């Protein structure tokens, strides 16, 4: 498993370096431009599907056929991608949190009651795209899984648009006392969905002929 994770790390550094730059740049803009969370949310979705990009490069390079000769199980190969997605999601939330905190301090707008809900909102945005995409990819392959890729992009971009609309913002103001509970419920639901997706991907990949 350690070897698979190292391979994914080297592949990410080679193919997805622009992702980190985009996350940092958008996080800075989101910290400076108040009440405009698009610049914070969108890179999380973009980075959340980076695991699929790694799988696309592996399919292009015939990695699956080569990996079949190595002492790794299909379950380990699937798990490595989910672990990478978790690490990437955690790094994105951490980077955003640090940059938002620096911007708040610099602009004298520090408010922990705004920062913590924002960070909680980033967790599902970084994990759910991969959770919905990866079972399709491990079941049908990257090319056919691209259909799910576009569907997920449309759904999550639409969700962000709804969250940033005046109607939803006005509603959230009325139920602000319930927001901590909503965050906890969404976080628990995200963990459950991610775990179910993990198990489903292992099941699909074990029954798929390479």
pTM, full prediction: 0.79
Q: How confident is the model at residue 84 (pLDDT cuts 50, 70, 90)?
A: confident
How high is the mean pLDDT of the chain?
75
Q: How confident is the model at residue 37 (pLDDT cuts 50, 70, 90)?
A: low
pLDDT surpasses 70 at 157: no
Which ranges in the chain belong to alpha helices (H)? 2-15, 17-32, 38-48, 50-60, 63-67, 74-106, 112-140, 142-163, 166-174, 179-206
Q: How confident is the model at residue 195 (pLDDT cuts 50, 70, 90)?
A: very high
Gyration radius of the chain over CA positions: 18
């Amino acid at each position: 498993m350690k070897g698979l994770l190292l391979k994914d790390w080297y592949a990410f550094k080679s193919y997805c370096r622009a992702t980190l730059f985009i996350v940092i740049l958008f996080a800075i803009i989101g910290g400076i431009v108040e009440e405009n969370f698009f610049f914070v949310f969108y890179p999380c979705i973009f980075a959340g599907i980076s695991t699929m990009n790694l799988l696309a490069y592996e399919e292009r390079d015939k990695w699956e056929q080569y990996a079949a000769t190595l002492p790794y199980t299909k379950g380990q190969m699937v798990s490595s991608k989910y672990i990478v997605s978790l690490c990437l999601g955690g790094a994105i939330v951490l980077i955003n949190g640090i940059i938002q905190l620096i911007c708040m301090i610099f602009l004298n707008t520090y408010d922990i009651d705004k920062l913590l809900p924002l960070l909680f909102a980033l967790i599902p945005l970084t994990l759910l795209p991969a959770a919905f995409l990866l079972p399709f990819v491990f079941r049908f392959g990257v090319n056919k899984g691209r259909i799910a890729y576009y569907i997920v992009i449309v759904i999550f971009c639409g969700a962000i648009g709804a969250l940033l609309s005046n109607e939803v913002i006005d509603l959230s103001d009325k139920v602000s006392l319930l927001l901590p509970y909503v965050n906890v419920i969404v976080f628990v639901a995200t963990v459950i969905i991610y775990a179910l997706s993990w198990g489903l991907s292992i099941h699909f990949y074990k029954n798929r002929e390479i």
